[in-house]
Structure 1
Amino acid sequence: MRIFFSVCALLAVFSLNAAEHYQSHRVTENQLVVTTDRGKVSLTFYNNAAVEVWYQPEGLLQLPSVILGTSPQPVQVTLKQTADSLTLQSPVLTIALQKSPLALRFYHQGQLLTEDLNGLQLASAPAANVSEAATAALGFSFRLAADEKLFGAGQRVLGMDRRGHKLPLYNKAHYGYSTESNQMYFSLAGVMSSNNYMLLFDNGATGELDLGHTEANTLAFSAQGGRAAYVVVAGNNTPELIDNYIQASGKPPLPARWTLGNYASRFGYRTEAEARAVVQKFRDLKLALDAIVIDLYWFGPDIQGHMGNLAWDKQAFPNPEQMLADFSADGVHTILVTEPFVLTSSKRWQEAVDAGAIALGPDGAPKTFDFYFGNTGLIDVFKPEAANWFWQIYRGLLAQGVGGVWGDLGEPEVHPADTQHYVPGIGSVSADEVHNAYGHRWAELVQQGYQQDFPAQRPFIMMRAGSLGSQRFGMVPWTGDVDRSWGGLKPQVELALQMGLFGFGWIHSDLGGFAGGEEFDPELYIRWLQYGVFQPVYRPHAQEHIAPEPVFHGSEVVETLRPWLELRYRLLPYNYTLAYQHSQTGMPLMRPLFFLDEQNLALRDEANSYLWGDAFLVAPVTEPGVRSWPVHLPKGVWFDFFTGERIEGGAVVERPVTLDTIPVLVKAGSFIPMTDAIERTRDYHSKALTLHYYADASVSESQGELFEDDGVTVDAVAKGQYELLRFAASQQQKQLTLNFSREGGDYTGRPASRDLTLVLHNQRGKARKVYLDGRYIPIVAQPQRFARGQNIAWYDKANKQLHIKVPLTAETKQLQLRY
C-alpha cells in the first residue's frame, strides 16, 4: 500500500532536487521531445489549440492516458532556439521553455495564460533503472493571474467560481446532499479559466486540487501515482475552448432520440407486474413515456444479499423477454441497473472468481470486504479477462431486448486502498492509483462491447462517476442521491453547468429529489419537474416511499404537469438539434449565461439560471410559496415564452410566477422549431413543423438550424444520413427576409416536403405583403376556411403573431415580408 502525499508534503519531500535541466531536443511535425537530466519531456499538439505535456523521468512507472481519446491531428509547429530557451509555436499556442531550470510558459495570441512553475514534483526519487520502475506520488504547480476565475473540478456545490478552495480528487458518494458539498460522485482533475484556457491533469489517481487556497496565486495538483501529464487548451471564447478540448479528448456520440423522452424510474420496481402496471398507467392517462428504469430488484427480492446475480429473478419477473418485447412494441425502452460489486452470497460469486474477474488483495486472493449490500468483491474492470466476463453479461441482456445500461455505485462507492487492479502493460496497481478512472474504464468497456456486438445500436450508458474524457464513451451522468428538499433542488443548475463545460452535456438530476422526504410536497415536485423540461434527461427518480412518477399523484398534479411534459415533446426538434450540436463541438445543452457576455463578471458567477441552447433562458423556482422570481437578464431584448411580453435585458428583473409557470424567456432573434405533442418519440416526425421566430428591430441578423435523422442510425452524420436545415433572418426597417438552406443527404423517413407553419412573434405592425420565393401569399382573417396545403398567412392579434403556412422543400429558399 503506497502512502498518499498532500501537495505541501510532496513539495517538501522533493524540494532539494526538484529542478530539471535541459540536455537536448528533437522536433517532429506536431511534437517536441526534450531530453533532460531526469528523463524526457514531450510536448504534443493534438490540434492547434491543445497541447499535452508529459514528463517521463527514468524509472517512473506511469498509467495510460484518460483524457486523450483521439490521435494527434497534423499541426505545423515552428521552433526557435536560443542559448537559454526554446519557443514552440502552433498557429494558436506558443510555449516558451526555459532550459535551466526547466520551466514552461503558455501564451495565446501574445497573452500569457499560465506558467508551469516547477515542472514535475515527485514525493520520492524514481527507481534507479527501468526494471525497478515504480509509481510515486507526483504533482505540479501553476501560476494564477490575480483576477481570473476558475470553473471545474467536477461535481461540487461551492458556487460557480471554485478559486480559493482545496478540493479532494476522489470520487465519493454524498448521499442526501443539498446546498453544500466539497466532495461528490464525479470529480474532474482540471479547471477552466475565465482567461479562456483549460488546464487538465491527465490522471485518474486519488489526488488533490488546490485552487489558490494555500497560496493565493498558485494552482497546485497532486496525485498518488497515475500519469505525470497535463493538457493545456486555449480558445478565443468558451464555446471555442470546449470545441478545441473535445477535438482532442473525443466527441460525445449522438444518442438515440428516445434519450430525450420521459422516463419512469424509481428505487425500485419489484415485479414484472408492477413494471407493466406503471407503463400502462402512463398510457391510460395519455402521458408521454419512452423508457422505464428498473433498479436492483430485477435480480433479487431484497436490497441486501443479491448484488452480483445480474440475472432476472424469475420469481418476480417470470417472463422478462416477453415484457421487454411488449414494452419495445409500445415504444418503451427498458434500462437495467448494474453495479460493479459481486457479493460472496450472490449466485455468480464463484463464477466471477473462476473467471479472474474479482480484484485481488495484497495476498493475491480475491479481495472481499463488507459494505451496505453485503460481503463483496469488486470487478476489476481494468483487467481484460474481467472486462470480458462483465461484458458477456451485458451482451446477454441486450440480446434479450434491454434498451440501455445503468452503471451505479461506480465511484466505486467502496474501494479499499489495498485493493489491487491489473492494468495491461503495467501490472498490479493499488486502488488509489486508479480510483477516479474506474467509472471511466467501466463506461469504456460497455461502449466497446456495443461497438463489437451491437454496432447498429446507439449505446445508452448512464453512469454515476467517471473522469475527464469519459464523455467520448457516450456517458450519461447524473448528480447522484440528492436530498428530496428545496435545498436539494437549489444546486442542480450549478452542478449541471460545471459538468457541461467539460463535455458532459447529458448531466441531469433525479427529478423530484431522491433521498429522504417524510411527506410528498406537491409544490417542490412540480417545480423540479418544470425545471426538468429544460434539462438534458427527463427522469423523475426517488426512493419508493414517495412515488417519483407523476401518474401516482392525483389529478391536480398530473394536470399541472401535463402541459409541461407535452412541451418537452413538442420541443423535440429543438432539443435533438442541441444533442447534435453537443456531439459535434461539445457545446452543452445547458449553458451558463456568461456565454452571452464573457466580460460580465456577474454572469460568470450566476448559478441560478441558465441558457437552454441558444434561444431559451430558464430560471427554475427553488423556493416555496413565491409569487415572483428574480431573473438575471443579460443585455439585449427578451420575450416571455408564455405571454410574449417584450423585456429589455441588462438587469435583474422580477418575473411574476404561479404554480403553473416558471420564468422561461426567449432571446430576440431566436429560431425555435417545434412539432405536435406525442406520447412516445417513436411517433415523432417533422412532416408538420412549426418554426417560431422572435423578430425584433434590435436584431438585424440572426441564424438558426434544425438537425434531423432517423434517430437511431449509428454515425449518421459521418454516413451522410441526416439533414441540417438552416434558417437566417435579416431585419430591415420595412422588410424582414428569411432565408432557408439545406445540407446533408438522405435518411429513412425523411420528408420530401414539410408542412411548415412559420410563427413570427412581436408583430406590432401588420405586414402589407408576403412572398415565398417571389410568389405572393395572401394574408387572410380566417385560415380554417382555406384548403389544406394552400399557402396562406394570418394574424393572431391577441398574441401579436403572424402565422405563415408554406411548404418547406429543398427548393424553398426565401420568404419576404414587406411592412
Structure 2
Amino acid sequence: MEIIKRRISLAILVLVTGSVHAQQVIVNTVGKDPFVGKTSEVVYKAKEGTWTFQGYNNAVIKTTYKPADYSKNEQISDAVINKPPVVGTKITVAASQTVEWDNLTSVVVQREKFYYKTGKEVKVKSAAYFAQGDTRGFRFQLFDNEQIFGGGERAVAMNRRGHRFNLYNSTSPDYGLGAENLSFSVPFFISSAGYGLFFDNPSKGYVDIGLTDKNVLEAGFPSGELTYYVVFGKNIDEIMANYSSITGRQPLPARWVFGNFVSRSGYRSEEQVKEAVGKMKQDNFPMDGLLFDMFWFGDNTKGTLGNIDWVNMQKWPNPKQMITDLRTKDNLKSVLITEPYILQNTKIYAEAAPFLASGADGSPMMVNDLSYGTGGLLDIFRKPAQDFIWKSYKKQVGNGVSGWWLDLTEPEKHPAGMMHNLKDYGVARPMAADEVHNVYAHYFSKMFFEKYSSDVSDQRLFLLNCSGFAGSQRYGVLPWSGEVARSWGGLKSQPVVLLGMSLSGLPYIHSDAGGFAATEGADPELYTRWLQFAAFTPVFRPSGTTLEEPYKSIARNYIKLRYQLLPYNYSLSYDQAAWGKPLMRPLYYYSFADSVALKAEDEYMWGDNLLVAPITSQGATARMLYLPAGKWYSLANNSVTDGGKFINQPADIKQLPVFVREGGFVPLWFSKDTIKSTESFDSKNITIRYYPSTYASSYAWYDDDGSSTRTLERADYELVTFKGITAGNKVTIDITTNNPNQYGKKFKRTFKFELPVALANQATVNGKPVDAGSFGKQLDPFQQLSNEFLTVEFNGKPVKVEITLK
C-alpha cells in the first residue's frame, strides 16, 4: 500500500493492553487491520527520509527525522538519560486515513506535517521539517495568543515570542536588559498552550520565535541528530516534572550552599584572606564559603591560566593549612576558580599539550585572542584529557578544597577551525568547534561530577559553572548569570534572566550579587537593593565591596534573614531533586489562566509560599506590584492584603516587598546564640510560622544531614508534613512524618508554632489541653516584632494541634 502518497494521519498513544510484541512498528506496513501491541518506537518512512516516534508514559513524545541525504547526524548532547520504554500501542488505518495510538498522547501526521495532541485537544499544530542550504530543522505553527518561555539565559521579556536567538553559548560583558544571547543557551521552551519543546541538538543553531513570521517557531541546526521532544502538562509544574524526568533533576546540594559567600575580584595572598575574613567576623556577618579568584594560581592575570596550583609560596606559604584553618576555625569552605585554557609557559603546558584540542593538522591549536595570553583549550571530550586534568584538581581536593568555580567554559574563545575528538563517546570523525561548543561546559561538569562520585568520599559537589546545556543540572551545576553590569540596568535584567533559566531546567541560577562589571561609580543603594533581591535566589554570592552605614546594617539584616530561612530554603532543594521544581517560579507557575500574572516579570515566587518583588529603580520608596487572588501576609510586619489586584507597596531602602501566601507554612531557624554559619544549624528546634487561611493547606519540610550524597537513595531523610486550616477562631494543624522510626528516647523535635495573629493562650494537642508554659513570645530580629508561639514536642507519632485565637 502506497501510504506515503496518500493524505494520512498518524496518532501514537499508550495502551494498557496489547496482543503483539514488537520493538518497532513501521506505519507504512499497517493495513486495514489495526496493529495492537507493545512497541518502543513507531517508524514512518517518507519519500526523502525516515521519521521515528517514541512515547514516554503519556507525558513526552520524542520525534527524530533522518533525511536520506544527511550524514552528520551524531547525537552527542548527553541531555536525555531515559530511554523510551516499551509501551502498549494501537495503530489503526481507517477510512478517514487516520492512524492512531489511542487517546492519551498522540502525534498526527498529514503529508509530513505533525499535530501533537493530548486526548482530543491539539497542543502543537503543524510541525514540519525544513532544509535551507546547510541548515536543517523544524517549523511549528503557533496559536494566536500563545506565549513561549524559557530558552536559557536571555535578558529579554519572559515571553520570548518576537525574538530570534542564537543557540550558542557566548559572553556579553557589561550586559543589561535587552541582551539576547548569554552564556547558557538551552533549547527548551515552554508554551502557554500546555506543552514544552526540547530540541536535543547542541550544534551552533538558532531559534526564531515569531520574529520572521509571527505565527511560526523555527529552529535550525548545521549538524547533529534532528530530534525534538514534545513535553505535555497542564501547567508549568507538570511540564517541568515531565521534562526533568527525561533530562534529570539536580542532586541535593550541601546545606552550606544556602549560606553567604565571601568573594571579591581576587585575593592576592593569605594575609588578604585573613584580613577579609576578620573584617566579616568583626562586622557580624554570617558566612559559609570563601571564593578564591584568579590570583591563587599566579600573581598576574596574564600567562597564568592552567597552573591549577599555588605558585607564589611566599604569598601562600601553606595552602593546606590555610584551608584547614578556614574550615575548622571559621567554618568556611574554600572554593577555587579554574578555567579550561592552558597557556603556554605555565607549569603543566608541556604535559598538557597532547590533551589540547587540535587544528586541522592534528597539532594543538593555539588561541591567540584570549585577554589572558596565548594557549590551548583542553579537549574535555577525551577521557585521557579528563584523567590528566583531574590529577591537578584532585590534589587541591586533598588540600581540603570544598568546591570549584568554572569560568570561561562557554568556551569564551572557541575558533571555528578547532577540532575535538569524541571517539570515547562513539563518534568516529573529528568534530568542529561549532558542533560541540554548546556541550563543552556540560562535559566539563560531567567530568567533575563523575570524578567526585568515584574519588571523593560521600561529599556533595559544589560546582559553579558559567555555562552548560540541557541536562547539566544533574551534574550539580550552580550557574551564574554572567558578566552583568553593576548598574540599575543590570539589576533590572536579573529577574527575567533567573526566571528564564529556572524554566529551562537549571534551578540554581543566580547572579553576582551587586553586579560584576562596574559601569558606574560605587552606588551603595544599588548594591543594597541587589543584595536584598539575592537573599531570595538559589545562591547568595555577593561581589565584594565596602559598605558604610546605614547600608551595612541593611545588608546584614537580609543576610541574617537568609540564614533564618535556611530550613525553608533547603526544603526547596528537595522539591527540585524529587519533582523537578525550580526554586524561583513565575507567578503563573501553576496556571496560565491569570492574564495579569502572565505579564508580571519583575516579581516571582520563592518556593510555593513567598512572593518576592525586587526594587530595581534608583531612589524608589515604593513600587507597584501584583498580588494574585487570595490573602497575602507581609513577611516584614504581618499585615494582610487581599490579592487579585495591584497595590502600591511602600519600600524604603530598608524594605524589600515579600509576601506570604495565606495558608503558607514557613519553617525558620532561630538560635539563642549568634548564627555564624550553617554549621550550627539545629534541626531539632525549628520555628514553624503558619499564616492562617480558611482554605486547607499543606507543606512538607525536608531534613537530612546536609552533606551525604545518597540520602534520597537510602531514604535517610525526613519529610515532616504540616496541614493547616482555620475555622472561626480556631487553627488546626496536623503533623505527620514519613520516617517515624528515627524517633526514640534520644531523638525528638521541638516545634514552636508561630502565628502572625494574637493567641488566646488556649490550645490542645491530640485533644489534651496544654499548660500555659507552652506559650511564649520570641523576637524576630528581621521583623523587630515579638511573635506569640506554642511549643509542641514531636516524637514521630501523628499530632493534631488546635490553637484558639483571640
TM-score (norm 1): 0.89
Identity across matched positions, percent = 32
Among 762, 770, 777, the alignment partner of 1:769 is: 762
Q: Which runs of 5+ in 1 are unaligned?
A: 1-19, 125-135, 542-547, 780-785
Match of 1:816 in 2: 802
1:262–1:538 contact (8 Å) kept in structure 2:
yes
Matches within 5 A, 1:371-450: 371-424=370-423, 425-426=426-427, 427-450=429-452
- C-alpha spacing 1:745/1:324, structure 2 compared with 1 (3 Å): farther
Is 181-190 or 708-717 further displaced after alignment?
181-190
Distance 2:59 2:749 in 1: 41
Among 548, 558, 575, the alignment partner of 1:554 is: 548
Match of 1:276 in 2: 274
Deviation at 1:399, TM superposition (A): 2.1
Distance 2:755 2:794 in 1: 16
Among 48, 57, 76, the alignment partner of 1:64 is: 76
Deviation at 1:86, TM superposition (A): 6.0
Deviation at 1:294, TM superposition (A): 0.7
Distance 2:190 2:688 in 1: 36
Deviation at 1:387, TM superposition (A): 2.1
Q: Are residues 1:246 and 2:244 paired?
A: yes
Match of 1:197 in 2: 195
Deviation at 1:391, TM superposition (A): 2.2
Distance 1:35 1:712 in 2: 51
Distance 1:327 1:531 in 2: 28
Distance 2:135 2:744 in 1: 56
Match of 1:687 in 2: 684
Distance 2:384 2:126 in 1: 40
- C-alpha spacing 1:669/1:773, structure 2 compared with 1 (3 Å): same
Q: Are residues 1:108 and 2:118 paired?
A: yes
1:262 counterpart letter in structure 2: N
Q: Deviations over 1:432-458 (max 9, x none)?
A: 111111111111111111111124111
Q: Deviations over 1:242-263 (max 9, x none)?
A: 0011011111111110110000
Distance 2:102 2:263 in 1: 49
Matches within 5 A, 1:337-348: 337-348=337-348
Q: Are residues 1:712 and 2:707 paired?
A: yes
- C-alpha spacing 1:78/1:395, structure 2 compared with 1 (3 Å): farther
- C-alpha spacing 1:743/1:297, structure 2 compared with 1 (3 Å): same
Any idea what SS the aligned residue of 1:200 has?
strand
Match of 2:146 in 1: 148
Is 494-503 or 277-286 further displaced after alignment?
277-286
Deviation at 1:394, TM superposition (A): 1.9
Matches within 5 A, 1:470-481: 470-481=472-483
Is 337-346 or 28-37 further displaced after alignment?
28-37
Match of 2:298 in 1: 300
Match of 1:230 in 2: 228
- C-alpha spacing 1:565/1:748, structure 2 compared with 1 (3 Å): farther
Matches within 5 A, 1:198-217: 198-217=196-215
Among 294, 297, 311, the alignment partner of 1:313 is: 311
2:260–2:287 contact (8 Å) kept in structure 1:
yes
Matches within 5 A, 1:3-14: none
Any idea what SS the aligned residue of 1:266 has?
coil
Distance 2:316 2:29 in 1: 67
1:571–1:674 contact (8 Å) kept in structure 2:
yes
Distance 1:28 1:434 in 2: 36
- C-alpha spacing 1:560/1:90, structure 2 compared with 1 (3 Å): farther
Distance 2:736 2:403 in 1: 36
1:331 counterpart letter in structure 2: N
Distance 1:710 1:498 in 2: 31
Is 64-73 or 447-456 further displaced after alignment?
64-73
Distance 2:62 2:372 in 1: 41
Match of 2:16 in 1: none
Among 568, 584, 592, the alignment partner of 1:590 is: 584
- C-alpha spacing 1:451/1:289, structure 2 compared with 1 (3 Å): same
Among 494, 504, 507, the alignment partner of 1:505 is: 507
1:342 counterpart letter in structure 2: I
Match of 1:9 in 2: none
Distance 2:357 2:588 in 1: 45
Q: Which runs of 5+ in 2 are unaligned?
A: 1-9, 11-25
Match of 1:12 in 2: none
Q: Deviations over 1:146-171 (max 9, x none)?
A: 11000112111111111011111111
1:325 counterpart letter in structure 2: T
2:112 counterpart letter in structure 1: L
Q: Are residues 1:639 and 2:633 paired?
A: yes
Deviation at 1:50, TM superposition (A): 1.3
- C-alpha spacing 1:518/1:794, structure 2 compared with 1 (3 Å): closer
- C-alpha spacing 1:106/1:365, structure 2 compared with 1 (3 Å): same
1:560 counterpart letter in structure 2: I
- C-alpha spacing 1:596/1:203, structure 2 compared with 1 (3 Å): closer
2:79 counterpart letter in structure 1: I
2:486–2:520 contact (8 Å) kept in structure 1:
no
Q: Deviations over 1:88-125 (max 9, x none)?
A: 54774111234xx3232100232111135333x3456x
Q: Deviations over 1:709-738 (max 9, x none)?
A: 000111211201101000001222353211
1:626 counterpart letter in structure 2: A
- C-alpha spacing 1:492/1:768, structure 2 compared with 1 (3 Å): same
Match of 2:18 in 1: none
Among 758, 761, 775, the alignment partner of 1:792 is: 775
Q: Deviations over 1:491-545 (max 9, x none)?
A: 111111111112211000000111024532111111111111111101012xxxx
Deviation at 1:808, TM superposition (A): 2.1
Is 434-443 or 802-811 further displaced after alignment?
802-811
Any idea what SS the aligned residue of 1:456 has?
coil
- C-alpha spacing 1:334/1:108, structure 2 compared with 1 (3 Å): same
2:53–2:64 contact (8 Å) kept in structure 1:
yes
1:792 counterpart letter in structure 2: F
Distance 1:419 1:645 in 2: 60
Distance 1:750 1:288 in 2: 33
1:47–1:244 contact (8 Å) kept in structure 2:
no
Distance 1:522 1:460 in 2: 30
- C-alpha spacing 1:104/1:162, structure 2 compared with 1 (3 Å): same
Distance 2:102 2:49 in 1: 25
Is 472-481 or 315-324 further displaced after alignment?
315-324
Distance 1:582 1:709 in 2: 15
1:66–1:467 contact (8 Å) kept in structure 2:
no
1:23–1:37 contact (8 Å) kept in structure 2:
no
Distance 2:247 2:87 in 1: 16
Deviation at 1:407, TM superposition (A): 0.9
Match of 1:468 in 2: 470
Distance 2:297 2:61 in 1: 46
Any idea what SS the aligned residue of 2:550 has?
helix
TM-score (norm 2): 0.90
- C-alpha spacing 1:627/1:705, structure 2 compared with 1 (3 Å): same
- C-alpha spacing 1:746/1:640, structure 2 compared with 1 (3 Å): same
Any idea what SS the aligned residue of 1:40 has?
strand
2:566 counterpart letter in structure 1: L
2:764–2:803 contact (8 Å) kept in structure 1:
yes
Match of 2:6 in 1: none
Deviation at 1:284, TM superposition (A): 2.8
2:38–2:88 contact (8 Å) kept in structure 1:
no
Is 393-402 or 319-328 further displaced after alignment?
393-402
Match of 2:109 in 1: 97
- C-alpha spacing 1:814/1:75, structure 2 compared with 1 (3 Å): farther
2:77–2:439 contact (8 Å) kept in structure 1:
no
1:171–1:411 contact (8 Å) kept in structure 2:
yes
1:264–1:539 contact (8 Å) kept in structure 2:
yes
2:197–2:229 contact (8 Å) kept in structure 1:
yes
Aligned-residue CA RMSD (Å): 2.5
Aligned residue-pair number = 762
Deviation at 1:269, TM superposition (A): 1.1
Distance 1:90 1:65 in 2: 31
Distance 2:639 2:714 in 1: 43
Matches within 5 A, 1:677-756: 678-696=675-693, 699-744=694-739, 752-756=747-751
Distance 2:695 2:343 in 1: 64
Distance 2:730 2:116 in 1: 49
